[in-house]
Structure 1
């Protein structure tokens, strides 16, 4: 017999964890994706796509599938999913561990403006027209229509449809990781004055932060939200160690 493990994913860490667990004879691993990305990367374990129906639906799934451990490896800004995971684990009496990558830390030369949310990020751009690089999820771009005076460079994994109702916007579709040198070239090519980003942490998207530091560009950084207080580790190795400790061989 194997322990049934459910990973709530959508991050590079979730993919790396699934890769590590795919060949482990102790576990039967399933990866759950929200399905927002149209062309997800292939994974080495069975993948479930779509929601569960809130915390109650996830709790029912945990019970029906006899899940031995729930792993929340979602994005640091996935507040609703992490909240549902914590509540579902409690309802189904299934142990939960969260994989939460550390946030980026301010370094000498960084020009960061820390804001609590998207609305504050829009307001921080000011009334004077600027050239802005938006590196946010598609669902979080609409508020920038309230500041149509700016010129926007917008990068996303999937096309932004419909496009923003602003007169000046250039769209890029690309998937990280992004290196500092290529990010610096992109920023120079488009004469970017301000970057708007989340403090996602991790190396995959840090290139723009390092490039902004080297070029003296301001980064409007949206503060991380508060997540449920659960057992949490910050590395894939930490999750594997936790599993080995909590789930002895059957």
Structure 2
């Protein structure tokens, strides 16, 4: 019996789902997508799916061995630094080829008023000088960094409801991208937002908020993404990842 080539994809990003759909159509491949399980109702990709952590680098390395993984593609969110580190360590230990599929960072254009920072704590420190009504789009797990800002209003958007601690004057907006420019304009106007906080996630699905902020002349506090682990090759899109995989498995 011919054993199919096994590809493990880490992450539930848009790119990860597109890659899984492309690969699952090939009968010579076994495709497994691993989701962290942080979203209550994730959009499931094609192929096999596992949900939950591996137990650190050693657990991932053991899984790679047991499941005879031939190639590993880290298509996690650009801010999933711990998982990317674990993938790099495990792949090196087991000698499995590893690729990081990373959508390019956003690039400021004329009219943008960006304030780059290195962390959510730095973002919180910058806010009082920039505005009083904050549109916070950094995800539900980072609200604790802003909890001490009692004098500011926060509109916090996330897929699932956040938990305390969070700023006392917080309104939660449950929504999932992709978002439209008209929709983002309406959110900023209806809530009288005067400063936007976001992570440099890249991609088109959540970029309209940046255009809407530019049109209104709003400052944007943007958290820089962590670097890809040293020595790990990157691909900017699904097409490039498919090319890498074809060359790797040839």
Match of 1:223 in 2: 224
Q: 1:64 aligns with which of 59, 63, 66?
A: 66
SS in 2 for 1:146: coil
Cα distance in 2 for residues equivalent to 1:148 and 1:247:
55
- Shift of residue 171, structure 1, vs aligned partner: 0.7
- Root-mean-square deviation (CA, aligned residues, Å) is 1.3
SS in 2 for 1:4: strand
SS in 2 for 1:155: strand
Match of 1:135 in 2: 137
- Counting matched residue pairs gives 247
Cα distance in 2 for residues equivalent to 1:128 and 1:8:
37
- Shift of residue 161, structure 1, vs aligned partner: 2.5
SS in 1 for 2:147: helix
Match of 2:185 in 1: 184
**Cα shift readout 1:129-158 (whole Å, capped 9, x = no counterpart):** 700000012111111111111011010000
**Cα shift readout 1:62-115 (whole Å, capped 9, x = no counterpart):** 011100000000011111100000000000111101101100001001110011
Cα distance in 2 for residues equivalent to 1:183 and 1:43:
27
Does the 8 Å CA contact 2:148/2:167 hold for their aligned counterparts? no
Match of 1:40 in 2: 42
Cα distance in 1 for residues equivalent to 2:61 and 2:86:
9
Match of 2:56 in 1: 54
Dislocated runs of 4+, deviation >2 Å? 161-165
Q: Which runs of no fewer than 5 residues in structure 2 stay unpaired?
A: none
SS in 1 for 2:72: strand
Q: TM-score, normalised by structure 2?
A: 0.96
Cα distance in 2 for residues equivalent to 1:195 and 1:69:
39
Does the 8 Å CA contact 1:128/1:149 hold for their aligned counterparts? no
Deviates further, 223-232 or 59-68: 223-232
Does the 8 Å CA contact 2:177/2:206 hold for their aligned counterparts? yes
1:160 and 2:156 equivalent? no
- Shift of residue 162, structure 1, vs aligned partner: 3.7
1:231/1:40 CA distance change after superposition, 3 Å: same
- Shift of residue 127, structure 1, vs aligned partner: 6.3
**Cα shift readout 1:151-186 (whole Å, capped 9, x = no counterpart):** 1101000011346251x2111111000011110111
**Cα shift readout 1:199-238 (whole Å, capped 9, x = no counterpart):** 1100000010111111111100001112202011111011
Match of 1:19 in 2: 21
